Chain A
Amino acid sequence: MNRDHNIHRASDIRVDLLLIADMIPHGARVLDVGCGNGELLEYLRLNKNVDGRGIELSPEGVNESVAKGLSVIQGNAEEEISHFPDNSFDFVILSQTLQAMGRPDRILQELLRVSKRAIVSFPNFGNWRVRLHLMLHGRMPVTKSLDYPWYSTPNIHFCTMRDFVDLCDELEIKIEKKMAVNSSGSKMFFNSLLLSNLLGTQGLYVLTRE
């Protein structure tokens, strides 16, 4: 069947999701943890023939995903991921969700149990704007993309890129690829952790087991 009209153009999905999609090879088995409305999984299926699965907490997100023909289950990621067998995926994605986890350390270990590789992105609280906001105003930063007050935010475990690298060290997780992402979602071209942590608004990492 000709499905050309379904093929997504790069402009159809969020730039930071496209960065992730670019790292996934054709035909891979992928689990998207916190897949939202299934935007990335749909893109991967249509453009890379990926065999995808998703876990999503919000019923609205699951409904939209199911209507796209995706296999997505509703539930708490930390609970549901534990029911997947070891090594059931080639890639597992945790995009902009790490900070909402009860135990980010445990979820990282779970990601690398069910999959050989994990792609993890998170808002970088080492970014200079966040640092400046806290210094000047003395209040918890509320950013454009994460605009909840501190007392009601689902994002309970913010970290900086340096914190994240330290955690991976501690858990003996190997960082295979790393990049800082700017506010428009594009990759920033420098390698230094100091600069990444200061200028990046998002950290994006590919992790494997040691």
Chain B
Amino acid sequence: MTDGVNNIDEDDGFSEVVTLGNDDPLRLSSGEILSPFKVAYKCWGTLNEDKSNAILICHALTGDQYARGKNPLTGKEGWWPKLIGPGLPIDTNKYFVICPNVLGSCSGSSGPKEDDPETGEPYGLDFPVITIADMVAAQVRLIDHLKIDKLFSVIGGSMGGMQVLHWAVNHETRVRTAIPIASTWRHSAQNIAFHEVGRQAIMADPNWRNGRYFETDIRPHAGLSVARMAAHITYMSEKSLTSKFGRALQDREKLTFGFDADFQVESYLRYQGISFVDRFDANSYLYITRAMDYYDISTNYGGSLTAAFENTPVKFCIMSFTSDWLYTTEESREMVRALNAVGAKVSFVEIDMDKGHDSFLLDCPEMFNIISGFLAAEASFSGIKLNE
């Protein structure tokens, strides 16, 4: 238990792991039960007196709770450093910002890498298959634990945006505003297909050992690295790959007529793969991609997106990027149109950026301005007393 909500290191916030669900088990979409389970999370800023200034940040597939500040596992800066912080668009002087690690991931929250409390050894594939809904259910428990009734905003990109939508549709009384960025309302056949390539690469690696690689010192690095390489291509646009690398050769004058990384783009992808395996768990990659593939916000509403949004009190601000071919503008527009069809309050901007899906993680002044403007206006209308 923590009672240190207001006791925050000025620079970095604190990182906590809380154990929940001891008395109140978490029933998952699959019907399986998690009890207890752990949620690792990080906070910045100070919760105001009536607890109305809390913003939940939802991370993407391979993200973690270290949205800002130094990530102790990688030694690198957090993944949204220019968006969250004092004086930044999500201003930690004004808002109380929470970023949890999702269920199934590998940065402290319950997942295949963590010990099963029943056996005392890592879950591996004994960890139940989870969904986006389950990730959000765990976050709801965290918010309960922090004694926050209603979040001022839930914000996230890519898979983070899926969690945002799930919050808005299924926990609509606990969210004031929702900002899904570069996201989608259901995984398409193409999305699932790319993920399946990644999973097969991992499972084809003999070192994967049916998910029990933790019993040895060897990890399925080759498989995980190929999975990351394939996925990384989907995060970039053709234009950004071309302008970054073209057909330039890697440290050589001419082709070698072999299968070494002749081209810069090959070398870059191999680097992306290799640097990923040190920070991410192969089984987590299987579980989280599965959760994304299972995701369709309309499932419980007869396949109708309009029905999912009917009577929503949540105010939405949706953003997409012109060059994102993974979760396209068209998919965001489908959400916008469904929201308009039910008379919901929604703003939408397609941001002109040529860096592909990953644009949401990059320096994007237009996205920053929209987020800060939307939040400030909403705080003013709702009469929320922000910290000075």
The distance in angstroms between the C-alpha atoms of A121 and B377, with both chains bound, is 29
Contact with A along B328-356 (1 / 0, CB 8 A): 00000100110011010111111110000
- Given the known interface contacts A74-B350, A84-B341, the answer about A66 and B378 at a Cβ–Cβ threshold of 8 Å is no
* Inter-chain contacts of A72 with B (CB < 8 A): 347-348
The distance in angstroms between the C-alpha atoms of A70 and B383, with both chains bound, is 16
B370 contact from A66, A75, A85, Cβ within 8 A: A66
Do the beta carbons of A83 and B337 come within 8 Å of each other?
Answer: yes
* B374 close to A (CB within 8 Å): yes
* B212 close to A (CB within 8 Å): no
Interface-forming stretch among A57-65, A96-104, A124-132? A57-65
- Given the known interface contacts A1-B383, A83-B340, A83-B341, the answer about A69 and B370 at a Cβ–Cβ threshold of 8 Å is no
* Inter-chain contacts of B383 with A (CB < 8 A): 1
* A88 close to B (CB within 8 Å): yes
- Given the known interface contacts A73-B336, A75-B333, the answer about A66 and B347 at a Cβ–Cβ threshold of 8 Å is yes
B347 contact from A62, A84, A85, Cβ within 8 A: A62
The distance in angstroms between the C-alpha atoms of A73 and B343, with both chains bound, is 13
* B151 close to A (CB within 8 Å): no
How many chain B residues have a CB neighbour from A under 8 Å? 28
A69 contact from B341, B350, B372, B378, Cβ within 8 A: B378
The distance in angstroms between the C-alpha atoms of A75 and B333, with both chains bound, is 9
Q: Please give the distance in Å from A111's CB to the nearest CB on chain B.
A: 15
* Inter-chain contacts of B366 with A (CB < 8 A): 59, 63
Do the beta carbons of A67 and B369 come within 8 Å of each other?
Answer: yes
Which residue of chain A has its CB nearest to the CB of B348? Answer: A73
Q: Please give the distance in Å from B366's CB to the nearest CB on chain A.
A: 7
- Given the known interface contacts A1-B383, A59-B352, A71-B315, the answer about A65 and B337 at a Cβ–Cβ threshold of 8 Å is no
Contact with B along A25-68 (1 / 0, CB 8 A): 00000000000000000000000000001000001001101111
The distance in angstroms between the C-alpha atoms of A72 and B337, with both chains bound, is 12
- Given the known interface contacts A1-B383, A59-B366, A71-B315, the answer about A66 and B349 at a Cβ–Cβ threshold of 8 Å is yes
* B137 close to A (CB within 8 Å): no
- Given the known interface contacts A72-B347, A73-B336, the answer about A63 and B341 at a Cβ–Cβ threshold of 8 Å is no
Q: Please give the distance in Å from B332's CB to the nearest CB on chain A.
A: 10
* B376 close to A (CB within 8 Å): yes
Scan residues 131-175 of chain A and give those whose CB is less than 8 A from a CB of chain B: none
Contact with A along B250-281 (1 / 0, CB 8 A): 00000000000000000000000000000000
- Given the known interface contacts A73-B346, A74-B348, the answer about A63 and B369 at a Cβ–Cβ threshold of 8 Å is yes
The distance in angstroms between the C-alpha atoms of A69 and B333, with both chains bound, is 20
Do the beta carbons of A66 and B341 come within 8 Å of each other?
Answer: no
The distance in angstroms between the C-alpha atoms of A84 and B366, with both chains bound, is 27
Q: Please give the distance in Å from A208's CB to the nearest CB on chain B.
A: 21
* Inter-chain contacts of A59 with B (CB < 8 A): 349-352, 366
Q: Please give the distance in Å from B307's CB to the nearest CB on chain A.
A: 14
Do the beta carbons of B377 and A68 come within 8 Å of each other?
Answer: yes
Which residue of chain A has its CB nearest to the CB of B374? Answer: A66
* Inter-chain contacts of B55 with A (CB < 8 A): none
* B380 close to A (CB within 8 Å): yes
Most buried by A among B315, B349, B381, B383: B349
The distance in angstroms between the C-alpha atoms of A103 and B153, with both chains bound, is 40
The distance in angstroms between the C-alpha atoms of A63 and B373, with both chains bound, is 8
* B43 close to A (CB within 8 Å): no
Do the beta carbons of B340 and A69 come within 8 Å of each other?
Answer: no
Q: Please give the distance in Å from B71's CB to the nearest CB on chain A.
A: 31
Do the beta carbons of A88 and B343 come within 8 Å of each other?
Answer: yes
Q: Please give the distance in Å from B343's CB to the nearest CB on chain A.
A: 6
- Given the known interface contacts A66-B347, A66-B370, A68-B377, the answer about A53 and B340 at a Cβ–Cβ threshold of 8 Å is yes
Q: Please give the distance in Å from B305's CB to the nearest CB on chain A.
A: 12
* Inter-chain contacts of A73 with B (CB < 8 A): 336, 340, 346-348
Do the beta carbons of A75 and B343 come within 8 Å of each other?
Answer: no
* B317 close to A (CB within 8 Å): yes
* Inter-chain contacts of B351 with A (CB < 8 A): 59
- Given the known interface contacts A1-B383, A59-B350, A59-B366, the answer about A67 and B377 at a Cβ–Cβ threshold of 8 Å is yes
Do the beta carbons of B347 and A65 come within 8 Å of each other?
Answer: yes
The distance in angstroms between the C-alpha atoms of A64 and B257, with both chains bound, is 55
* Inter-chain contacts of A83 with B (CB < 8 A): 337, 340-341
Beyond the given A63-B370, A66-B377, A67-B373, could you list 14 further A-B residue pairs with CB under 8 A, ordered by the A residue number?
Answer: A1-B383, A53-B340, A59-B350, A59-B366, A62-B347, A63-B373, A66-B349, A66-B373, A66-B374, A67-B370, A72-B347, A73-B346, A74-B349, A75-B333
Residues of B within 8 A of A (CB): 315, 317, 333, 336-337, 340-341, 343, 345-352, 366, 369-370, 372-374, 376-378, 380-381, 383
Pairs across A and B, CB under 8 Å, 26 listed = A1-B383, A53-B345, A59-B350, A59-B366, A62-B349, A63-B349, A63-B366, A63-B370, A66-B317, A66-B347, A66-B374, A67-B370, A67-B373, A68-B373, A69-B377, A69-B378, A69-B380, A70-B377, A71-B315, A71-B346, A72-B348, A73-B336, A73-B347, A74-B350, A83-B341, A84-B341
